Amino acid sequence: MKIQDKINQSVSTINYLGYSESDLLDTVNNLNQLLANYHVYYQNLRNFHWNIAGRSFFDLHEKFELLYNDAREKIDEIAERILTLRHHPISRLTDYLNFSTVKESKILHSDTEMVSTILKDHKEIITTMRTTIESAGKAGDEGTIDMVGGFLANLEKQSWMLDAWLQNQDDKVSKES
């Protein structure tokens, strides 16, 4: 046996994080679900960024770019967390579309349809995040809890801002009068 083969064999049997394999399976599956959701969400945002038109163009074109850049970073972090847990992230477009609870969007022409669709996507992603945090908690996986918890707080804030954008200011003023 070559020295490299011995190293590879010993590395594959060392659990350097101290988790049992069975404890992490739900968390890894949930992380792969989150990864799939983020990929479809990312592409929806690109679609909207390219196709926004009208009076909201400047604001939403920039906002969609900020959101898809953020999603791209999270995609990489999620995949690397799965690798850290000694599993492989799903990585085929077919798998993303099959496993995602976020649905691929059609090309929308209305700014309010686009923002509403993003909020629906956020709801799906937030649900997956909460499920991931719960399974990671059962496994004692503080690294995943910390990572996803940060993602969750950020996405909740982005959702609030987008929801505020959808609000009709006239309705709010009339309710307060």
DSSP category for residue 92: -
**pTM value?**
0.87
Quote the radius of gyration of the chain (alpha carbons, Å): 20
- HSE-CB for 32 with a 13 A CA cutoff: 21
CA 23 to chain centre: 22
Structural domains of the chain ordered from first start: 21-168 (1.20.1260.10)
Which of 105, 118, 21 lies closest to 66 in space, CA to CA?
118
Taking the C-alpha atoms of residue 21 and residue 27, their distance in angstroms, rounded to an integer, is: 10
Give the pLDDT confidence score for residue 5 in this predicted structure.
Answer: 47
Which of 144, 128, 147 lies closest to 136 in space, CA to CA?
144
Which of 91, 158, 92, 82 lies closest to 126 in space, CA to CA?
158
Contact 79/39 with Cβ under 8 angstroms?
A: no
Contact 82/89 with Cβ under 8 angstroms?
A: yes
3-state secondary structure of 89: coil
Contacts for 65 with CB less than 8 Å, ≥ 6 apart? 49
Which of 32, 27, 43, 151 lies closest to 103 in space, CA to CA?
43
Residue 7 CA: distances (Å) to CA of 1, 58, 133: 10, 55, 33
Other beta carbons within 10 angstroms of residue 25's beta carbon come to 14
Give the pLDDT confidence score for residue 22 in this predicted structure.
Answer: 82
Give the pLDDT confidence score for residue 28 in this predicted structure.
Answer: 97
Please report, in tens digits, the pLDDT of each residue of the chain (177 residues total): 554 444 344 344 337 788 888 889 999 999 999 999 999 999 999 999 999 999 999 999 999 999 999 999 999 999 999 999 999 999 999 999 999 999 999 987 799 999 999 999 999 999 999 999 999 999 999 999 999 999 999 999 999 999 999 997 665 555 665
Other beta carbons within 10 angstroms of residue 54's beta carbon come to 9
